[in-house]
Amino acid sequence: MRILAISPCVPAECMRGYQVLSFYRLLHLSRKHQILLVCFGHTAEDVDSMNRLKSLGVTVQMVRWRPFVAVASMFLAMFNISKPFQCALYESPEYRDAVATAIAQFQPDLIYGITIRSLGNITKNDIPLVLDMVDSMALNLSRRRDLANSLTRVAISAEYKRIHKCEREITGRALCSFVVSKHDKEFIKDENVKVLPLGIDTSIFTKDPDESLDPTVSFTGNMFYTPNVDAVMWFYRFCWRELRLAVPGVRLIIAGNNPRREVSNLALEDGVTVTGHVESMASILNQSRLSIAPMQSGSGMQFKILEAMACGIPVVTTSIGLGDIAAVNGRDILVADTPDTFTQAVISLLQSQAMRERIGIASVQFVERNHSWHALNDSFEQTILSALRDNQID
């Protein structure tokens, strides 16, 4: 089967969530099918990721993302209430031409859309569309709206209405769509949306203890992403002071790309390190006694939680952070939603090696049982093939 993949960025093993997920999808599909990928990209890092995909047999055509084109597209979206700004940001004539040429020359049997962001570059056609939404951006925005101040809430509400309508329309016409959490499926309300959780590459995220002499807590993730910023700032404002009083010498490592100013400023505090980009997130986790994910907003499933669990690092999260992860509170993970209970859970883990070891062992076993990329991607492929057969019969 010939598959045309459409993505806003180059799929990659160690980048943002949807880039990681789509990389492992393409890795699996490329073993049996011909893949042509069209995506934005131009940096040295993008080229490295492109070459990695090519080594797997994926043909890649990168289109340069041009800021002035994105700004013009977003300006035009102001006059089109059905166009989400997050989609307008990734539309361009050059990308649209690349997709049209790929359809004409490659003649795909299937279009594989990676998130909804770049689907506006596909001209009307009769080729079946399969969509990896990853999560519902509308659900994400609805939770962020609840936390925002009045002015920001107005802007988020406007984008929410566009995104919510767009998601419903696209899932309605797609052959099938996938999200990583049942909460996202329930929010979208479309029977053609399938739930497949995230996988973890346990050859990368594995237990390799390098525990710091100081009691160390880590928070990992893209630090430009608003839900991650909200989470770490909540922890700092409501938990950090009490934690430092209870556990002298405790350190907080905030690791992830592009930290916003308010996050970078936390490095001025004694005991807080903000790393920015790191070569290996697994090494950061393995230096930690525990990892936190005090999510106050967001959607989908948290890679940061599964990565820490795969390394045998106990995790303290909130109910929003746990989401659809089927880990058992108290056995595989700790869940706490108030500042007091969250702080106490962190203190308990820092002070009890036996507790850390017990939960760490259980968390590794949980990931191995439930989040194997091979099993999940085999299910992804079989679901697509079944949907294609049913479509042909209809």
pLDDT in tens, 78-95: 999 889 999 999 999 999
Pick the CATH number of 216-370 from 3.30.230.30, 3.90.1140.10, 3.40.50.150, 3.40.50.2000: 3.40.50.2000
Q: What is the pLDDT of residue 238?
A: 97
Q: What is the pLDDT of residue 212?
A: 57
Report whether pLDDT(17) > 90.
no
Q: What pLDDT band is residue 35 in, cutting at 50, 70 and 90?
A: very high
pLDDT in tens, 203-238: 999 988 665 567 999 999 999 999 999 999 999 999
Extract the tokens encoding 166.
């767009």
The three-class DSSP label of residue 71 is: helix
Q: What is the pLDDT of residue 249?
A: 92
Domain at 2-199+372-393, CATH class = alpha beta
Bigger pLDDT: 42 or 253?
253
pLDDT in tens, 126-151: 999 999 999 999 998 998 888 888 78
Q: 311, 282 in Cβ contact below 8 A?
A: yes
The three-class DSSP label of residue 333 is: strand
Report whether pLDDT(284) > 90.
yes
H or E segment at 251?
strand 251-255
Q: Helices marked H in the chain — which ranges?
A: 17-29, 44-55, 67-77, 85-88, 93-106, 137-147, 150-173, 182-188, 226-235, 241-246, 261-264, 281-286, 303-310, 319-322, 339-351, 353-370, 373-393
According to CATH, where is 3.40.50.2000 located in the chain?
Answer: 2-199+372-393, 216-370
Dist. CA 254–CA 157, nearest whole Å: 30
Q: What is the pLDDT of residue 211?
A: 57
Dist. CA 225–CA 227, nearest whole Å: 6
Extract the tokens encoding 341.
């209970």
Q: What pLDDT band is residue 298 in, cutting at 50, 70 and 90?
A: confident
- Tell me the pTM: 0.87
